[in-house]
């Protein structure tokens, strides 16, 4: 499931992020790449554990906790602390698949990467190129969203970022270990949950809603891994 989640951050929050980044030190983004990804990755990144990265990461995590659409779609068990990158001057990231397991820096905590996310912090008109392109069985999907909006997609997907030829593409990125690791099952639960919400808003028969809600939770109980 590839899903656009709008307004994860407000315009004021985006402006705060950009102001904090403007005074931060950036390093070679290959520092956090796996062996295969490092061969095709050309970008800059805020150092993990830096004061700016920690403050920005906490802001993003707090926003995710308040975002009902993200919770419904990702069913998060654990979220890897957000990282922040910048593409400019022809930088790009070639075809790659995200590492299956990420270890949180400074801990023994491992996160299985079920759901990948990119939270855009630059508006599309501020740069040329820089499209996130995600491949699935239906072809290639190109994503370039307003600042504050986010896209999530299965971490098993082959994806890339096209060269930035003007301006700078700045974003947060992270991974979620889901309670339900299988994307097809997560998608089914997501569709069912949204349907229940629509029926409730339309004033549908309460007994039918209770029955459907019970089925949702029984499926989640069957598939969840805690």
Quote the CA–CA distance of 204 and 212 in Å, as a whole number: 12
28 is in an annotated binding site: no
Quote the CA–CA distance of 1 and 183 in Å, as a whole number: 7
75: nearest Cα among 179, 182, 219: 179
141 is in an annotated binding site: no
- Which bin fits 188, alpha (ψ -120 to 50), beta or left (φ > 0)? alpha
* Cβ atoms of residues 183 and 156 within 8 Å: yes
Quote the CA–CA distance of 53 and 73 in Å, as a whole number: 26
* Cβ atoms of residues 207 and 216 within 8 Å: no
Residues 6+ away with beta carbon under 8 Å from 107:
none
Quote the CA–CA distance of 170 and 24 in Å, as a whole number: 13
169 is in an annotated binding site: yes
96 is in an annotated binding site: yes
Q: Residues forming the annotated binding site for Fe cation?
A: 96, 98, 159
Residue list for the binding site for 2-oxoglutarate: 169
Mark the binding-site residues, compressed into ranges.
96, 98, 159, 169
């Amino acid at each position: 499931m590839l899903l656009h989640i709008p307004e994860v951050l407000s315009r004021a929050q985006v402006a705060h992020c950009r102001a904090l980044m403007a005074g931060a030190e950036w390093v070679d983004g290959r520092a956090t790449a796996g062996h295969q990804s490092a061969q095709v990755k050309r970008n800059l990144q805020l150092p993990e554990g830096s004061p700016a990265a920690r403050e920005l990461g906490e802001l993003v995590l707090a926003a995710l906790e308040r975002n009902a659409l993200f919770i419904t779609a990702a069913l998060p068990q654990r979220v890897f602390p957000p990282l922040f990158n910048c593409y400019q001057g022809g930088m790009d990231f070639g075809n790659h698949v995200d590492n299956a397991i990420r270890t949180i820096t400074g801990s023994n905590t491992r996160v299985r990467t079920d759901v990948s996310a990119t939270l855009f912090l630059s508006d599309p008109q501020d740069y040329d190129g820089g499209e996130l392109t995600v491949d699935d069985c239906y072809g290639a999907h190109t994503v370039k969203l307003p600042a504050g909006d986010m896209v999530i997609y299965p971490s098993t997907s082959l994806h890339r970022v096209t060269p930035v030829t003007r301006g700078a593409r700045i974003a947060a990125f992270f991974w979620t270990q889901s309670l339900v690791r299988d994307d097809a099952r997560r998608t089914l639960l997501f569709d069912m949950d949204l349907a229940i919400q629509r029926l409730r808003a339309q004033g549908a028969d309460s007994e039918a809603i209770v029955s459907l809600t019970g089925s949702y939770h029984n499926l989640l109980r069957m598939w969840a891994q805690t």
